[in-house]
Amino acid sequence: MNGSTDMPALYLDACATSPPAAEVLEAMAEVHRNAWANPSSLHGFGVAAAEVLERSRCSLADLLGCDSEELLFSSGGSESIHLALLGVAAALPPGRLLISAVEHPATLAAAEQLRRQGWQVVNVPVNHLGQVDRAALEPLLAAPTRLMSLIWGQSEVGTLQDIELIGGLCRAAGVLLHVDAVQVVGHRPLQFHTLPVDLLSLTAHKLQGPRGIGALLVRQGVPLLPLIGGGGQERGRRGGTEPVALAAGLARAVALAHGRLQAHGGLDPLEELRDSLLESLLALGGLELTGPDPRRGEVRLPHHISLLVSDQRGRPLDGRALVRAVRVSGKDAIQFSQDTEQLAQLIAQQAQDGDVVMCMGAGSIGTVPARVLALQATASGGQA
């Protein structure tokens, strides 16, 4: 949303959902026109759909560094996470599951299901940056631990875990490792075969792909039982007619992201823009970075900023109400930075409505990067 008529609206909530790329929409439209049939059908229309589906799978496997047989389609990150944890656990005797203290709610929900099925669930502590505490992790990898699930890139504070280190520890202990890579895929090069990881979840809508499609990479030999039965799709691991157009959209989105990374030496070009925007925002005052600080060389998701916002008296402002206030008022950061008391009053008014507000963007990061305020709403009061 944008209250100014001379400035285009700017969306800065891509960690929640990114707008689909034009190339992705065109790839999906082409499939809807020419390969709309059920890919399990044996007639020519079905065969055409099945060919598109498998070409999409092979393209993704090539880009992600896995075999096509190791990649199965899902409805998104949450389903992939549930299938990884519950599907593996169903093939194993009950044991102990390790998760970190900063996991996505989908992982917490799957872990709770396992707890009710007799598994022990232990939260591995993290340090002040949200990184797993190695000293606390190592003794927990002993029996009866059978499985660990870890979020690679944390969407609220931007923390990146050391997957090579943690995966190596899991391998040495004989513990299967699932990685939630929803925020990482598309923002750094990834070759599944070179990672000490057994299962990896991803989704399309975080990297300019469509909503409703994701994937789970499962290393050959890892036991996995389906959560959804039916027609034997996805090699019997996930029943249900595959969404061929969405799969094509996911493949195109990953290809676009891969091309961007290759064109910039394996680095996400958003990182430079992120750093410039962060510098401008912190210069406004009343803002404090949460999570790793790239200005100190700390490793963070390259496309991510999270901030604590305070008024002139140092009192924290509610993040959800802050986003709503800026959206409703049509003002931007540079205006509010000159009168945080006015902003605080407006937030108090909007907070009374009790609405849950999704983050919106306003302003421009072109020639005047300070004219921006699009802060990600989180469950933590005052964090945006």
50's tokens: 């099945």
Q: Crossing angle for the helix pair 44-64 and 244-263, nearest 10 degrees?
A: 30
Give the separation between CA 148 and CA 125, rounded to whole angstroms: 13
Q: Which CA distances in Å does 383 have to 103, 171, 290?
A: 17, 36, 8
The Cα–Cα gap between 352 and 340 comes to 19
Residue 5 pLDDT more than 70?
no
Residue 33 is which amino acid? R
Contacts of residue 105, defined as CB under 8 A and 6 or more positions apart, other chains included, come to: none
Model pLDDT, residue 373: 32
Task: List, for residues 150-165, the tens digit of each pLDDT value.
Answer: 999 999 999 999 999 9
pLDDT of residue 296: 94
**pLDDT band at residue 72 using 50, 70 and 90 as cut-offs:** very high
- Percent of the chain with pLDDT strictly greater than 90: 72
For residues 250 and 225, the answer to whether their CB atoms sit within 8 Å is no
The residue ranking higher by pLDDT, 295 or 329, is 295
Res 188: pLDDT: 95
- Region 317-343: mean pLDDT is 59
**What is the predicted pLDDT for the residue at 7?**
59
Could you tell me which residue, 183 or 326, shows the higher pLDDT?
183
Residue 328 has a pLDDT of 67
pLDDT at 380 over 70: no
Tokens coding 124: 């591995």
With beta carbons less than 8 A apart as the criterion, state whether 238 and 228 touch: yes
Crossing angle between the packed helical segments 244-263 and 22-34, to the nearest 10 degrees: 150
Residue 170 has pLDDT above 50, yes or no: yes
Between residues 314 and 255, the one the model is more confident about: 255
Of the given ranges (292-301, 313-322, 347-356), which has the lowest mean pLDDT? 347-356
- Picking from 268, 300, 297, the residue whose alpha carbon sits closest to that of residue 156 is 300
pLDDT, mean over the chain: 85
CB count within 10 Å of CB 204 equals 30
Given pLDDT bands bounded at 50, 70 and 90, which one contains residue 360? very low
Asked whether the predicted pLDDT for residue 334 surpasses 60, the reply is: no
In order, the DSSP letters of 88-149 are HHHTS-S-EEEEETT--HHHHHHHHHHHHTT-EEEEEPB-TTS-B-HHHHHHHTSTTEEEEE
Mean pLDDT of the region 3-24? 79
Please say whether the beta carbons of 309 and 326 come within 8 A.
Answer: no
Between helices 77-90 and 105-116, what is the axis angle to 10°?
A: 20
Percent of the chain beyond pLDDT 70? 82
pLDDT at 376: 30
Furthest C-alpha separation in the chain: 70
Residue 116 makes CB contacts below 8 A (sequence gap 6+) with none
Q: Which is more confidently placed, 8 or 193? A: 193
Q: What pLDDT, on the 0 to 100 scale, is given for residue 6? A: 58
Chain-centre distance for alpha carbon 362: 22
Q: Which domains does the chain have, with CATH numbers?
A: 1-19+269-384 (3.90.1150), 35-261 (3.40.640.10)
Q: State the amino acid at position 321 in one-letter form.
A: A
And the tokens for 254? Answer: 């990953």
Residue 125 scores a pLDDT above 60:
yes
**3-class state of residue 218 by DSSP:** strand
Asked whether the beta carbons of 146 and 92 are under 8 A apart, the reply is: yes
Q: Express each pLDDT in 253-277 by its tens digit.
A: 999 999 999 999 999 999 999 999 9
Res. 135: pLDDT tops 80: yes
pLDDT of residue 379: 26
CA distance 25 to 210: 8
- Whole-number Å distance between alpha carbons of 307 and 297: 18
Mean pLDDT of 66-90: 98
At position 301, the amino acid (one-letter code) is: L
